[in-house]
Amino acid sequence: MSADSDLASRTLPTPALGTTRAQRDLIWVALGTLVFAALSIHFELSETVVAWTQSRERFQVDELPGTLLFLALALVWFAWRRIDEFRTELAQRRAVERRLATALDANQRLARDNVRIQEEERRNLARELHDELGQYLNAIKVDAVCTRDAAASDTAEVRRGAWSIVESVDHVHTTLRDVMRRLRPPGLDELGLVAALESCVDGWRRRAPGVSFDLHAPEATSDWGEAVNITIYRIVQEGLTNVAKHAQATRVEIHLDTRATIAGGDSVVLRVSDNGVGMPETATTGGLGLLGMRERLETLGGRLDASGASSTGFTLIATLPLAHTP
């Protein structure tokens, strides 16, 4: 539980404490009523009031007790209404506090997962740079030294050293291209979102040849902005990863389109659906998953809806208003 919710729980009266105070106040009301009744009997209050009002009949003072009684009943009704409103507001406040505590827990878990994934990614990049690039750069240096030493005496050895340098450089280029692809979607800046999505889907077609991938996207995505494009790409990337891990699907459809909103303006709507086993249990509890997608969308004022059943597969719908994007 968060510190804010702990503070709120300390400021709110507990049910046991409220019951004790109510019982004590009820005892005071009963004692006060008995004391007032005893004083009324001792001083014959009713007879005194009647005698006093009879002499002032022309002013209708005898109607004053009934009026005061009605006022007292009206005040009781007014107090009951305020108590009912207070209980409703208190219940709403506690519900909001529960939702806030759940959101804070989710944000803390997301922050921890983000830090963990960043560190894992940095560790993997460092390992690849050390194992791949460092090894092949050292091989290039050795081949270059051998080529230099053999240049004057052995033409065949020079040729073999040159080919070895070319192969090492090609491997370095491939490794760098893979690292850059992980850091930045290929073709997103030069060719646009649709080309980047097609490249991503083509990659999954090669990795999962038994799954049919269908991509439907409009060409006019250049005016959506950097934030929208990269968000849509990352959600598609994460959605396809979840399909490969959990769905056991044979068909995946990706639809990207725009639609007008009630408040005015346009929204980007992304729909990723499959015919797999439906929503897995880990989709709502483990890792970033849906929580990471939802956090990314809510940062830009968007919304994420997910539904799935064993007979219909899994459907992911991301709505991102263009008017809220920077």
List the CATH number of the domain containing 284.
3.30.565.10
Query: Phi/psi at 213 (nearest 5 deg)?
Result: -110, 125
Task: Tell which of 60, 81, 113 closes a domain.
Answer: 113
Are 95 and 150 in a shared domain? no
Q: Are 282 and 307 in contact (CB under 8 A)?
A: no
Short-list 252, 276, 267, 256, CA closest to 197: 256
Are 28 and 104 in a shared domain? yes
Q: Check whether 53 has a pLDDT greater than 90.
A: no
Are 80 and 39 in a shared domain? yes
> CA 27, 32, 33, 36: dihedral to nearest 10 degrees?
170
Q: Check whether 296 has a pLDDT greater than 50.
A: yes
The answer as to whether 188 is a domain residue is: no
How many domains in the chain?
3
Contacts 24+ apart (CB under 8 A), 156-160: none
Domain housing 268: 193-324
Are 95 and 37 in a shared domain? yes
For residue 65, the surrounding DSSP H or E stretch is helix 64-128
Q: Provide the β-strand partners of residue 319.
A: 269, 303
Residue 37 pLDDT level (bands cut at 50, 70, 90): confident
Q: Check whether 21 has a pLDDT greater than 90.
A: no
Classify burial at 222, counting beta carbons within 10 Å of its beta carbon; exposed 0-12, middle 13-18, buried 19 or more. Answer: exposed
Max Cα distance, the chain (Å):
143
Short-list 277, 184, 292, 189, CA closest to 238: 292
The pLDDT assigned to 243 comes to 83
The answer as to whether 50 is a domain residue is: yes
What token pair was written down for 157? 């050895």
| Mean pLDDT value of segment 62-69 | 71
Residue 228 pLDDT level (bands cut at 50, 70, 90): confident
| Residues contacting 162, CB < 8 A, separation 6+ | 147
The pLDDT assigned to 90 comes to 92
Are 70 and 15 in a shared domain? yes
Q: What count of Cα atoms within 13 Å lies in the side-chain half-sphere of residue 151? A: 7
Q: Are 251 and 76 in contact (CB under 8 A)?
A: no
Number of H helices, E strands in the chain: 9, 5
Q: Are 303 and 297 in contact (CB under 8 A)?
A: yes
Query: Strand locations in the chain, DSSP E?
Result: 212-216, 251-260, 266-274, 303-309, 313-321
Q: Chain-wide mean pLDDT for the chain? A: 76
The pLDDT assigned to 2 comes to 43
The pLDDT assigned to 171 comes to 77
The pLDDT assigned to 17 comes to 54
Residue 313 pLDDT level (bands cut at 50, 70, 90): confident
Q: Check whether 162 has a pLDDT greater than 90.
A: no
The pLDDT assigned to 97 comes to 92
Q: Check whether 111 has a pLDDT greater than 60.
A: yes
